[in-house]
Amino acid sequence: MTSATEPDTPAAGRTAAVPRLIATDLDGTLLHDDKTVSDRTVAALAAAEAAGIEVFFVTGRPVRWMDVVRDHVQGHGLAICANGAVVVDLHDGGRCVEVRPLEPTAALAIVHAVRAAAPGASFAIERTSRFDYEPHYPPFQLDPDARIAPAEELLEAGDGQGDPIIKLLAFHPELAPDEFLDLARMAGGEHGSFTRSSPTALLEISGPGVSKASTLARCCAERGIAPEEVVAFGDMPNDLEMLSWAGTSYAMANAHPEVLAATTHRTAANTEDGVAAVIEQLLHGLP
């Protein structure tokens, strides 16, 4: 077990292999709690790229929330957003390179299944260019342009909101987060991929088979990068598949217990620049 301030170190006399790609989550991982990127982290990412290592931001955030890193991307302009539903080019104004949508019929089936299993749940729909929600959905992020209506109305065909659905969100005011996730998966899992990244009972639901891991795997395959050439960082359940897929994975010291249990490497907390600490170690001694 490592300390909460330093990453795992290679066994004595051995040198860690230099990866070809670094995949990092944002909230709770790369970003500090105030949603800033430290100078140390910016420098570490730039140094990784200078050494020939690609950097992918892999996040549950929608494209419209990527301003937190857009000014620090250096050459690393690609980001996987909405838990794998969208690949965007941050150097081109957030242009969508690929979209893996949740079909409206599947979203509607999930709404009905989750509502029946967990009465009191409310829903929001994240599309490529807008965010709409039900009247009782909590105002986590106020959006003056949002359409507010029952989920069935927001999802019905021909409603004029034809942009692809990249994420369905479900919130429950009383259930514990992991309890709600398990219950919702059991009820509607055949129609989509369920995960969570919030400390509240807020679920994020993508199309079947869509995850950070599956989209990262596609992007890596296009570049001829194998899983064992990838180092990944994360802290919450929506990172689990990505961390399991990557050849080397690090859980932040502040990570969810399932993430800590699923990874063999640890690094410092997001507030202590844990990602930067590992990158610095990986690059140590390179010419």
CATH code of residue 216: 3.40.50.1000
| Nearest of 220, 173, 236 to residue 23 by alpha carbon | 220
pLDDT tens for 237-280 read 999 999 999 999 999 999 999 999 999 899 999 999 999 999 99
Query: Could you give the CA distance from residue 86 to residue 102 in angstroms, rounded to a whole number?
Result: 11
Q: Is residue 167 part of a domain?
A: yes
CATH code, domain carrying 179: 3.30.1240.10
CA distances from 97 to 22, 25, 53, 205 (A): 19, 19, 21, 21
Tell me, yes or no, if the pTM score tops 0.85. Answer: yes
Angle between helices 104-117 and 177-188 (to 10 degrees): 120
| Residue 4 resides in a domain | no
Same domain (yes/no): 189, 53: no
User: 219 and 187: one domain?
Assistant: no
Task: Give dist(CA 87, CA 99) in Å, integer.
Answer: 7
Which regions in the chain score pLDDT beneath 50?
Answer: 1-5, 9-16, 158-160
Are 139 and 59 members of one domain?
A: no
What are all long-range contacts of 263-266, with beta carbons under 8 Å and residues at least 24 apart? 264/8, 265/2, 265/7, 265/8, 266/1, 266/2, 266/4, 266/7, 266/8
For residue 58, the model assigns a pLDDT of 95
Check whether residue 94 and residue 215 sit in a common domain. Answer: yes
Q: Are residues 171 and 86 in the same domain?
A: no
11 is a domain residue: no
Q: Which domain holds residue 124?
A: 104-206
Let me know if 112 is exposed, middle or buried by CB neighbors in 10 A (0-12, 13-18, 19+): middle
Is residue 229, in this structure, part of any structural domain at all? yes
Is 3 within a domain?
no
Q: How does DSSP classify residue 228?
A: G
What SS3 state is found at 245? Answer: helix
Boundary-marking domain end, from 206, 235, 263? 206
- At 13 the pLDDT is 30
Q: Is residue 134 part of a domain?
A: yes
Last residue of a domain, one of 191, 206, 221: 206
Domain boundary residue among 185, 206, 227?
Answer: 206
How many domains are contained in the chain? 2
Residue 202 shares a structural domain with residue 219: no
Q: Which two tokens stand for residue 243?
A: 């961390």
84 inside domain: yes
Identify whether residues 48 and 128 lie together within a single domain.
no
- Indicate if 226 and 247 belong to the same structural domain: yes
**What's the confidence (pLDDT) of residue 15?**
34
Residue 112, H or E segment: helix 104-117
pLDDT, position 95: 78
CA atoms of 35 and 162, how far apart (whole Å): 31
Does the residue 6 lie in any domain? no
Task: Give the angle subtended at the CA of 192 by the CAs of 233 and 135, to the nearest 5°.
Answer: 95
**Do 149 and 73 fall into the same domain?**
no
Cβ atoms of 118 and 182 closer than 8 Å = no
Count the alpha carbons within 13 Å of 246 in the hemisphere toward its beta carbon: 31
- Token pair 């140590």 is found at 284
Q: pLDDT value at position 16? A: 46
